[in-house]
Amino acid sequence: MNSGNKFVQTLQKLGYPKACKLEGEDFDWLFETTDAKPFLDWFCSNVTQHNVVSEEKLQAFSELKDSGKDFLDEKALDEVMKTFKPASSKTTKEDVAIEKLEEELKNLKDLRSLHLQRRNKLQMMRSANVHSCLKFKDSEDEDAKSLKRILNDLQVTSNKLNHELQTVVEGIQKLISFYAPQEEGCKSSPIFLFQVLLDKYLSCEEQSTNALTLFTKEHFFEGLSKCIEGSENGFQLVQLDGKSGDDPVLEDKSKEMMRLQLAYICAKHKLIQTKAKSASLVTGLQWVENNARTLQSMDSNKDKLKVRIASLKAESSQIEKNIAAINRDALPGLVRENAQLLNMPVVKGDYDVQIAQHKIYLSRQDLVCNHLMKQKASFELLHLGYELELRKQRNVNQQLEVIIQDLKQNAEELETRLRMMSDDALLSADKPRTNIDSKDTSAHGLFQLLDGDNAQKLFRTYSGLESVALKLSQEVHSVKNQLAVCEQEQSLLLSKLEGNMKSLQDFMYPDGSELLLQTPVSYEYRKEVL
């Protein structure tokens, strides 16, 4: 229960009229003061309705006060009570007891003042501790915030590092999957060129090479050898005299060419004669057509015509003689001289056949060369691809080796760091510090607060702090014991005081109803004093 609520409940028990309107939270501050708190605690725990003065007594006291009569104040009443001697037989014993009680009360007051001093000192220590705790709490809150911020940063960094490590692991797994051998049932496309299976390609190239070899043997090595063997004499003029040496092929060819030449000469001779006859007939017909009209007009001149015919016949006979002489003397020589030129179409045809054969061989050679060039280009391209991939793989291998070396170095450094951190010589638990660090202001402040000595010491140890704390705990325990003894003595003294108060009340209230403010004895004593 809060102290303010307890105070309000006490007021309600005492019958305070406005106690129901009060709130306990408004009186909590009263209990925080060091001076009023003991009285308020005593008031809340001991005061009852019997301690409340009634309205009648207050009214009687106010009337007595307004009447102007003299009455004793607190100090005068104490002096009177000290000198007052009751008429009963118990006076001497009570005086002795009162003197003892006064001495005990004095001792208790001294002890109470000592306890108050200690309490004040402890309260000062408590306030200093509270102030230090508040400072420590503020620093603890700041440290907690900074620690939380650092932990958040570390968590973010850790998450980022984990994500990067996961990315690296996935990349490494993907890279490993690239280099891993493919299974037989896997149909995934290859990544690198060296993973491509070239069995079908090489088998196709081998079949193509075999087919090309057969084609070359069939069309070149058998027919081309014959052509090359006769190529030295193939492009020479064939001799028609039959002197071809020991070569039967050339001899047969020379005979064939001579027969063709004779046939060609005979045909040419007949063609010339036929053309001459045809030309003579055409010329005669043209002459007849041209001179037909002239002959009709020349009927009258028959003599001249006859003379003309005779001269023409003489001229024609002379021409025939000349032609016969040419055919007999000049023409055979010319024909023999130009005999080689007359068979040129036949020789040209033979050479055209040979040239066509050579063109066929050249076209086949071009076909074979093109196929071989394509095959060579494909092999060179494949070789170039392998070279480029090998170079790239070497670069990747070098980079991986560098990464592996870095990882090994980092692992060694981490292992060294962990070994250093796990070293027994660095663990504070095995070798605790004996001296308090000069930077540890909290420990020094606590030591000074517990010790109470303001003298600067060269070294302050944790063992000394522990001994001071143990000494303080012993003092607190002894103070608690003394307080318990004092409480017992106070309870005893209060019981005696209550008995004295009871006897005083019986004396002051003889009838038990009205207060006897002035007794005869006190009145006489008052007169003597005045």
pLDDT digits (tens, 9 = 90+) for 119-146: 777 777 777 777 777 777 778 788 888 8
Q: Over 70: is that where the pLDDT of 514 sits?
A: no
Report whether pLDDT(241) > 70: no
pLDDT value of position 412: 92
* pLDDT at residue 463 in the model: 77
Beta strands in 266-361 (DSSP E): none
225: pLDDT strictly greater than 80: no
Decide: 248 and 400 in contact? Cβ < 8 Å: no
DSSP 135: H
Q: Does residue 313 register a pLDDT over 60?
A: yes
Bigger pLDDT: 30 vs 226: 30
Q: Average pLDDT of 345-368?
A: 82
Task: Band the pLDDT of 526: cuts 50, 70, 90.
Answer: low
pLDDT of residue 340: 64
pLDDT of residue 229: 46
Q: 461 with 437: CB under 8 angstroms? A: no
% of the chain at pLDDT higher than 90: 3
pLDDT at 222 over 60: no
Residue type, 415: E
Averaged pLDDT, 53-76:
72
Q: How far is CA 475 from the centre of its chain?
A: 62
Q: How far is CA 493 from the centre of its chain?
A: 82
Look over the chain and give the mean of its residue pLDDT values, rounded to a whole number: 74
Q: Indicate whether 228 pLDDT > 60.
A: no
Query: Using CA atoms, how far apart are residues 292 and 285, in angstroms rounded to an integer?
Result: 10
**Res 243: pLDDT:** 53
Residues ≥6 apart with Cβ < 8 Å to 324: none
Is the predicted pLDDT of residue 372 greater than 80, yes or no? yes
pLDDT per residue over 427-473, tens digit each? 555 455 667 766 677 777 777 776 766 556 666 777 777 888 888 88
The highest-confidence range among 37-51, 307-321, 405-419, 491-505, by mean pLDDT, is: 405-419
Tokens of residue 184, six digits = 């037989």
For residues 386, 387, 390, 395, the Cα torsion angle rounded to the nearest 10 degrees is: -140
Q: Which residue has the higher pLDDT, 386 or 291?
A: 386
- Name the more confident of 301 and 135: 135
CA distance 349 to 512: 181
Lowest mean pLDDT among 63-67, 224-228, 330-334, 489-493: 224-228
Q: Phi first, then psi: give them for residue 84, nearest 5 degrees.
A: -75, 130
Least confident of 54-58, 204-208, 224-228, 267-271: 224-228
Asked whether 254 and 347 are in contact (CB, 8 A), the reply is no
The pLDDT of 502-509, averaged and rounded, is 70
Rounded average pLDDT over 17-38: 74
User: Any idea of the CA torsion for 176, 179, 184, 187, to the nearest 10 degrees?
Assistant: 80
Checking if the pLDDT of 371 tops 50, the result is yes
- At 512 the pLDDT is 53
